[in-house]
Amino acid sequence: MPLTNAYRNYLASDTVGDATPRFDSTNAYIGVGDGTTAFNASQTDLQGTNKFRKAMDSGYPTVSGNVMTFRATFDPSEANFAWNEWGVFNAATGGTMLNRKVASLGTKDNTQTWVLTVQITLNV
C-alpha cells in the first residue's frame, strides 16, 4: 500500500528525531470516510463528506519487526455512513495521514459496533 508524501516527510524528520506527534497509543487514530476519490500521495486527509477518526483500542498500535498494527472500535453512535475509505493519522484532527485506502467496507448503522484493524508492512 502506498504511503502519503506527508508520511514520507514525517519518516525523514523522525530519522533525526524531530517528528511529533508520534503514531503511538496517545496520538494514533484510524479514520473512516465515505469518499471514493482515487488515492493520491499528495492527499492529507480523507476525501469524503462524512468522516470520523477514532483513537486506538487499548494496547495499540503495535510493532512486530516491520509490521505496524493499528486497531480501533467504532461504537453504535459513531461513523454511521458508508465506509468507502480509511486511513491512519497521528491526531484527532489535522496531523499527518500515514496512508489512505479506497475500499468499500459496507455501511455501518447505529445498531452496530465495528472493529477496524489495519496492518501496514514497511519494505525497502
What is the rounded average pLDDT of the residues 26-38? 97
What is the rounded average pLDDT of the residues 47-63? 96
pTM (predicted TM-score): 0.90
Comparing C-alpha atoms, which of 77, 35, 25, 28 is closest to residue 54?
Answer: 28
- Overall domain count for the chain: 1
pLDDT band at residue 1, thresholds of 50, 70 and 90?
A: low
Range of the domain at 26: 5-121
Comparison of pLDDT for 108 and 15, the residue scoring more: 108
14 Cβ contact list (under 8 Å, min separation 6): none
